[in-house]
Amino acid sequence: MSPRKTATKAAQRGEILTLPSGSLKVRVYAGKDPLTGKKHFLTETISHEVPDYRKVAERTRTKLLNQVDERRAPRTTATVNMLMDRYEEHLNVDRSTEIGYRRNIRLHIRPLLGDKQLGKDLHGETWDSFNATLKQCSKHCGGKGKFIEHRKAGEHECTDKCKVHSCEGLSDSTIRKIYSCLSGAMKLALRWGWITVNPLDVATQPKAPKSKPNPPSAEEAALIVNEAFRDLAWGMLVWLTMVTGFRRGELCGVRIADVDFAQRVLTVEVAVGQEGGQTWETDPKDHQKRRIALDEATWSLLLVYFEHVKSIAADAGVALAPKDKLFSRTIDHSTPLKPDSVSQRYSRMCQRLEVKTNLHALRHYSATELIAAGVDPRTVAGRLGHGGGGSTTLKVYSAWRSEADQRAASTLTGRMPTPPIALDQTGKVVSTLEPKVTGPYRKIAADLRGAIACGALRPGDALPTVHELTTRYGVSAGTANRAVAELKADGLVQASRGRRAVVLDSPAQKTRSAEIVELRPHGTAQ
C-alpha cells in the first residue's frame, strides 16, 4: 500500500504523505543531484504518536522549504568516499605533499568517514567522534585489545619488527594535516555545487601546536660532534647540519659542484624526497635557491673530507664528477643518502650518548646560536630557508644581504664546539682533542703543538728558549730539548745546535685548495 497525499493548497510547495502506519512523511523538492542528475528531495518522518503531529508536519515542511530557499540544504547524496575519489584526481601539490595527503585519506578519512553523506551526516557530533577516535588510536582499533601488528602482509615468519599493538593516538599536527585534506575537498564540493554549506564550519579542529625548539646544549653538541667524527663522512654531515641548519633532504641533495671552494660558499638548489625505499630529487621546501657562506673551520673540514672521498674513489678507479652527490654510500657518489636513514642513524647515535634530541633540532641549534650571538632574524631566516616563517621578522627574510651572511658564518664559528680534527700548518690532518700525556716532555710538546695549530705561534716565530721551558715546566734541560726534538721530527719546527727552534711554513694547504677548485665545472666563477 503506497502513501497517499493529504489535502494541500495548490500554491503550497512540498508535500505531506500519509504512511501505512499512520505517520506523516514530509517531502520537499531540493533540485537535481549534480552528481547523478536525479531529482533530490529533503524528507523527514513525523510519528503519529507525537501530539498534534499534523501541525508538527506543517512546521517541518516550512523548515525544509526555508533550508532550500537559503541554500542550506544538501544537493546531493554523495558520500565522503565519492568526494575523495574526485579530490585525489585534482590534487596539484608537490610529490612529498601529495604522498602525505593520499596516506591520510587512505588510513584515516576513508575508514572513518567514507560512507557518510556530505550534506546529511557530517554534523558536530560526527566531527567530535572523529577527533576522539584519532586521538585514541592511530589504528582505530576501538579498544579491541592486544593484537600483532605485522610488518608485512601475507604469510611470513614474524620477526622483532612484528610487534604487539599498543594504542597510541595521532598528534595534533597530524590531525591538522588530515583536516587540511578535508578542507581542500570540501572547497571543491562547494564550488561544484554538491553542498551549499561547508560541514567543516561546525568541526573543532586542534589548534596549531606552539613551537618548542629544543636544541642540544653546548656540552651535548660537543659530545655529538666528537662521536660523529669517528667516521669522517658522518662527522662532516653532522657538522654541516649544525653550521648551516640545512634540512635533511637538502643535505642529502648537495652536489659536489654546489661547493665553491674558492669563494667558500655552499649552494642549496635541490633536495631529496623519500617515500619508503624510493628517493627522488625535488626543489627545496621554500622553492628558492640560496647560497650559504662557510666559515674557516667548515671550509677546512670540507677540504679534508673531499680529499678523503676523492682518494677512495681514485683507489677504485673512479673519477668524481661535479654532478655527483657530496654525501653518498657509493664509491662514485652517484646516488644520494636516504633522508630517513640519516635521521635514524642520528637518533641511534644520540641514544648511545644519552642525549634526548633529533636531527631537526640541529636547525634549531644553528638558529638559536646565531640569534644569541646578535645576528638579525632576517639573516638567520635566509640561511635556514624560511620562505614564509612564523613571525613577522622571518617573513621579510628576503632582505638579507650577503655581507650579513658572511658575518653570520664567522659569528657561528666562535660558538660551535671545536671539531676533533683540523688542518695544521703543513696541511696535514691532526686531532684537536686534548692529548693524553704520560711524560713531562710530551706535555711540553703537546702544549707547543697546540700553540702552533691555533696560530699563537706562527710560521717564522721562535719557540721559547730551553731555559724558559725548564723554568716554566720545572724540568731539566734534557727534557726540554727532547720536547723540541719531537716537534722537529714531526716537521713543525726547524732546530739546530746553538740556535733557537723556529716554526716552519708550508704551502701544502694552498696546494690542496687549488687541487679541489680544479674539479669545478668549466665556466664556474672562481
For residues 247 and 195, membership in a common domain is answered with no
pLDDT at 227: 93
Residue 292 lies in a domain: yes
Question: In the predicted model, is pLDDT for residue 396 greater than 60?
Answer: no
Residues 404 and 301 in one domain: yes
**Cell numbers representing residue 59 in the block:** 512546521
For the chain, the first-to-last Cα distance in angstroms comes to 92
φ/ψ of 502, rounded to 5, equals: -125, 140
Q: Are residues 61 and 90 in the same domain?
A: no
Residue 225 forms part of a structural domain:
yes
CATH of the domain at 448: 1.10.10.10
pTM of the model: 0.60
| AA identity, residue 253 | G
* pLDDT tens digits for range 33-70: 655 667 778 788 999 888 999 999 989 888 888 877 65
Query: How far is Cα 494 from Cα 425, in angstroms, rounded to an integer?
Result: 14
Q: How many whole angstroms separate alpha carbon 476 and alpha carbon 305?
A: 42
Is the residue at 424 inside a domain?
no
* pLDDT tens profile 186-235: 999 888 888 878 889 888 888 877 767 678 888 899 999 999 999 999 99
Angstrom distance (rounded) from CA 99 to CA 103: 6
**Per-residue pLDDT, 417:** 78
- Confirm whether 195 is domain-assigned: yes
How far apart, in whole angstroms, are the C-alpha atoms of residue 268 and residue 385?
A: 9
Instruction: Give the CATH number, domain containing residue 18.
Output: 3.30.160
More confidently predicted of 454 and 265: 265
The domain total for the chain is 4
E strand or H helix that includes residue 165: none
State whether 399 and 444 are in the same domain: no
| Nine-digit cell string for 165 | 599493538
Q: Which of 36, 69, 102 is the last residue of a domain?
A: 69
98 and 49 co-located in one domain: no
- For the chain, what is the largest distance between any 2 Cα atoms, rounded to a whole number of angstroms? 130
Same domain for 249 and 339, yes or no, is yes
Helix (H, G, I), strand (E, B) or coil at 422: strand
Residue 150 lies in a domain: no
Can you spell out the DSSP letters for 427-494? S-EEE-SPP---SHHHHHHHHHHHHHHHTSS-TTPBPPPHHHHHHHHT--HHHHHHHHHHHHHTTSEE
Which CATH number characterizes residue 405's domain? 1.10.443.10
Cell numbers for 486? 719531537
Give 30: exposed, middle or buried? Use CB within 10 Å, 0-12, 13-18, 19+: buried
pLDDT at residue number 113: 93
**pLDDT for the residue numbered 405:** 66
Residue corresponding to grid cell 587540511: 180
State the pLDDT confidence band at 392, using cuts at 50, 70 and 90: very low
Task: Classify residue 349: in a domain, yes or no.
Answer: yes
Residue range 467-478: average pLDDT?
Answer: 88
Regarding whether 441 and 324 lie in a shared domain, the answer is: no
Name the residue with higher pLDDT: 481 or 439.
481
Positive or negative, the CA dihedral 281, 284, 289, 291 is negative
305 and 353: one domain?
yes
* Bridge-based pairing state of the strands 24-32 and 290-293: unpaired
Residues 397 and 464 reside in one and the same domain: no
- Which residue in the block uniquely carries the three cell numbers 678523503? 308
Q: Are residues 311 and 187 in the same domain?
A: no
Among 176, 202, 228, residue at a domain's last position: 202
Say if residues 316 and 304 touch (Cβ distance below 8 Å): no
Q: How many CB atoms lie within 10 A of CB 106?
A: 12
pLDDT digits (tens, 9 = 90+) for 358-372: 998 888 888 878 877
232 plus 337 within the same structural domain: yes
Q: Are residues 34 and 91 in the same domain?
A: no
Mean pLDDT of 114-142: 87
State the residue range of the domain holding 477: 434-509
pLDDT tens for 176-192 read 999 999 999 999 988 88
Instruction: Evaluate whether residue 358 is within a structural domain.
Output: yes
- C-alpha distances in angstroms, 277 versus 190, 274, 337, 340? 38, 7, 11, 9
- Answer yes or no: is 74 within a domain: no
